[in-house]
């Protein structure tokens, strides 16, 4: 069928900040795309753009994600522009427990009284787990932030948000067996970028993907190492084996979207729906397939960089990433990206750790990773 077009209701910046767009489904349902600005005082010149939150008016008006914390007034202004008062919202669906997605949630739930729908591990991610260290960088932080590598300046900005968020109660935890709120919704559990990531299919026409599928960029996978730090804080049945953390978990989720969203027309991601002054129209299944190939190629590139050398994370990242992307906190993110691929390569036997404390590695000469990816392509 002919893909419907997005209509710009309110102009914003060329990166999408402040923009409001409307998508009307074939059934005639409006979905409002709200570009809630993101702010980071980090000095990078790369631009993630806003977090796109999605408002679906109806018998029970639904908001998917709530933007970065401390942006509540901006979120309310965008809602008001499309004729929605916070008190009109009857349901909030959170895609995962990152601060640019569940920020403003405590204020929003308090003011609206809306139902809260989230992955069944979300409650564990927003809670504090005092007395469980297990090698966490920040055992005093809630579950989603115990492994945070960001500098202290960044972390201090989050403390009040952590505390307010920890008091939230998820009235509707989403599992693989959960009934959706109504027949127009379908949930998919998609760990990999976060252990509590979900995607929402609406009217079998659009996929609201959070960070699991993004336009023009890929999200950073979690690390397998984080599973061993967090397995004791995961909900019962989720910590027995690692199917929630690491690049392998993310590739599994991408394959789920590739195969289970073949008839879904339009991707509505949390970032880069609008950038450089234009709308990115993408098919969810095709985009998932593209990202799988991207990670296949990245593994090959890392092995080429290693060659016959023993290298650390940063040495590999310097060769792998444009210097522009490694400015400020981008350096930490580039190292994390390299580590997620090295973990997969190590399981496949394509690299071996030389110093596991410093995460130096060497290539073994094999390319078994290609067999792993062949199952998904």
Strands (E), 148-197: 172-174, 185-189
Other C-beta atoms closer than 10 Å to the C-beta of 2 total 6
Place of tokens 């753009």: 49
Pull the structure tokens for residue 66.
């709530």
| 277-287 b/e (C-beta count within 10 Å ≥ 16 → b) | eebbebbbbeb
pLDDT of residue 87: 97
CA-based max dimension of the chain? 62
Backbone angles phi, psi at 52, to 5 degrees: -85, 120
pLDDT digits (tens, 9 = 90+) for 303-334: 999 999 999 999 999 999 999 888 887 888 89
- Does the pLDDT at position 44 exceed 60? no
pLDDT of residue 45: 58
SS3 call for 317: helix
Contact 303, 311 (CB under 8 A): no
Torsion of CA 5, 290, 200, 8, to 10 degrees: -20
pLDDT digits (tens, 9 = 90+) for 45-88: 568 899 999 999 999 999 999 999 999 999 999 999 999 999 99
Contact 141, 132 (CB under 8 A): no
Q: Strands 274-275 and 278-279: what pairing?
A: antiparallel
pLDDT of residue 330: 85
Mean pLDDT, the chain, rounded, equals 94
Worst-scoring range by mean pLDDT, 97-106, 191-200, 228-237?
A: 228-237
- Does the pLDDT at position 43 exceed 70? no
pLDDT of residue 47: 80
pLDDT of residue 1: 52
Rg (alpha carbons) of the chain, rounded to whole number:
20
Q: Cα separation of 261 and 288, whole Å?
A: 10
Whole-model pTM above 0.85?
A: yes
Backbone angles phi, psi at 233, to 5 degrees: -100, -5
- Does the pLDDT at position 109 exceed 60? yes
pLDDT of residue 155: 72
Q: Which residues contact 45 (CB under 8 A, 6 or more apart)?
A: 324, 327
Q: Cα separation of 109 and 374, whole Å?
A: 44
- Does the pLDDT at position 42 exceed 60? no
Contact 369, 296 (CB under 8 A): yes
Here the contacts of 273-276 (C-beta below 8 Å, separation 24 or greater) are: 273/16, 273/21, 273/33, 273/35, 273/52, 273/215, 274/12, 274/15, 274/16, 274/19, 274/21, 274/33, 274/35, 274/49, 274/52, 275/14, 275/15, 275/16, 275/49, 275/215, 275/216, 276/14, 276/15
pLDDT digits (tens, 9 = 90+) for 255-293: 999 999 999 999 999 999 999 999 999 999 999 999 999
Residue of 151 and 330 predicted with greater confidence? 330
Q: Which residues contact 163 (CB under 8 A, 6 or more apart)?
A: none
Average pLDDT over residues 207-213: 98
- Does the pLDDT at position 187 exceed 70? yes
Counts for the chain of helices (H) and strands (E), in that order: 10, 16
Task: Using alpha carbons, select from 7, 5, 79 the residue that is nearest to residue 36.
Answer: 79
């Amino acid at each position: 069928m002919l893909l419907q077009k997005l209509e710009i209701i309110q102009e914003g910046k060329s990166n999408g900040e402040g923009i409001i767009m409307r998508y009307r489904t074939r059934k005639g349902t409006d979905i409002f795309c709200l570009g809630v600005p993101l702010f980071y005082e980090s000095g990078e010149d790369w631009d993630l753009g806003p977090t796109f939150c999605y408002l679906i008016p109806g018998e029970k008006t639904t908001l998917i994600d709530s933007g970065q914390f401390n942006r509540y007034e901006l979120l309310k202004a965008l809602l008001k522009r499309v004729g929605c008062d916070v008190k009109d919202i009857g349901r909030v669906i959170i895609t995962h427990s990152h601060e640019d997605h569940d920020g403003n949630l405590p204020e929003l739930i308090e003011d609206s009284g809306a139902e809260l729908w989230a992955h069944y591990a979300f409650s564990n991610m927003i809670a504090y787990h005092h007395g469980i260290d297990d090698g966490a960088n920040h055992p005093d932080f809630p579950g989603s932030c115990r492994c945070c590598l960001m500098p202290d300046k960044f972390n201090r900005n989050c403390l009040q948000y952590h505390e307010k968020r920890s008091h939230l109660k998820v009235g509707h935890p989403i599992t693989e067996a959960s009934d959706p709120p109504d027949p127009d919704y379908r949930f998919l559990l998609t760990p990999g970028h976060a252990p509590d990531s979900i995607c929402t299919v609406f009217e079998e026409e659009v996929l609201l993907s959070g960070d699991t599928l993004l336009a023009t960029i890929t999200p950073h996978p979690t690390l397998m190492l984080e599973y061993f730090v967090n397995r004791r804080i995961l909900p019962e049945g989720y910590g027995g084996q690692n199917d929630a953390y690491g690049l392998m978990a993310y590739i599994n989720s991408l394959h789920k979207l590739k195969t289970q969203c073949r008839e879904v027309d339009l991707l509505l991601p949390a970032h880069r729906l609008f950038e450089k002054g234009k709308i990115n129209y993408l098919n969810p299944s095709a985009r998932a397939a593209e990202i799988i190939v991207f990670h296949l190629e990245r593994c090959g590139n890392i092995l080429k960089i290693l060659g016959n050398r023993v290298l650390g994370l940063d040495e590999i990242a310097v060769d792998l990433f444009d210097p522009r992307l490694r400015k400020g906190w981008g350096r930490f993110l580039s190292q994390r990206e390299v580590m997620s691929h090295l973990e997969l390569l190590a399981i496949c036997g394509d690299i071996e750790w030389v110093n596991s404390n410093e995460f130096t590695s060497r290539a073994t000469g094999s390319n078994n990773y290609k067999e792993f990816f062949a199952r998904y392509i």
